[in-house]
Amino acid sequence: MIALYTLMEGIIAFFLIAGSIFALIGSLGLARMKDFYMRLHGPSKISTLGVGCVLLASIAYFSLLDSGPSLQELLITIFLFITAPVSAHLLSKSALHQKLERDPRTRGNPQELQEDDDEHTSEESPQGSSKLP
């Protein structure tokens, strides 16, 4: 029984540390990257991997505390997994609508950004995403 408790404690600690490291890396990407279209990449890691790991740790901890399964935290996980792509899609649509500036290293050449982009990326082919880095 003591061995089971020690093992579960190690698993919970691993999930907590892994989730918080994912969250720190995602927020660092949000703070450090160049333009909005790059910055959109970091927070999706937080809401899937970071909070997912923390909620798994919470499920394991409360299951151990009550000596029975406690699956309430799965509600938050499922809700976040469903809503994260929707909000990211809406954010990118509003950014394209506002014609935000983009870094020349950002790949892709969407229709909405093409007319004010002609002077410095005119040598690109229309399918700019096939360009090698």
Q: What is the contact surface with another protein in residues (CB under 8 A)?
A: 9-10, 12-14, 16-17, 19-21, 23-24, 26-28, 30-31, 36, 39-40, 42-43, 46-47, 50-51, 54-55, 57-58, 61-62, 65, 70, 72-73, 75-76, 79-80, 83, 86-87, 90-91, 93-95, 97-98, 100
35 Cα distance to chain centroid: 16
Helix (H, G, I), strand (E, B) or coil at 125: coil
* In the block, residue with structure tokens 């469903």: 82
Decide whether 2 or 86 has the Cβ nearer to another protein.
86
DSSP state of 68: S
Decide whether 27 or 124 has the Cβ nearer to another protein.
27
